[in-house]
Amino acid sequence: MTQAGQVVDLGEIPRDWDEVVPSDVSDERAFGVRLRGDSMEPKFSDNDIAILLPGTVPTNGEIVVANLRNQGVLCKIMHVQLDKNLVKLSSYNPAYPPTEYRRDEFHWIFPVATIIKQLRRR
């Protein structure tokens, strides 16, 4: 899989990718990204695969993968603030404090439909 941080627009996803991840989601534009790091431990781990739904608007409290303009791609829990212009992203791992961003700081935010766990680490 590619680094999702390199993709700003869905049109940039190469059509000739030969990697396929089985999924039962109905979003024809769904795609998978490999998670990196430990911010979502212990629930999700480095090398797990998140299936994203670019055709669905994420809702408050959902797990999302977000592409920030200045920080790259993050997998977090999304909390929409009351004024709807601020988004707070939090982790399962308490070592990573929640952070707030303005909506215009994102290239995109997609909800996660499912996580494929990697049971055997490389």
Q: For residue 105, what is the domain's CATH number?
A: 2.10.109.10
Is residue 122 a part of any domain in this protein?
no
Is residue 90 a part of any domain in this protein?
yes
- Amino acid 3: pLDDT: 40
- Amino acid 84: pLDDT: 74
**Which of 30-34, 73-77, 88-92, 98-102 shows the lowest mean pLDDT across its residues?**
30-34
Distance CA(17)–CA(20), nearest Å, equals 8
Is residue 13 a part of any domain in this protein?
yes
Report yes or no: 4 and 67 within 8 Å, Cβ to Cβ: yes
How many domains are contained in the chain? 1
Query: Could you tell me the residue range of the domain that residue 18 belongs to?
Result: 4-116
pTM of the model: 0.80
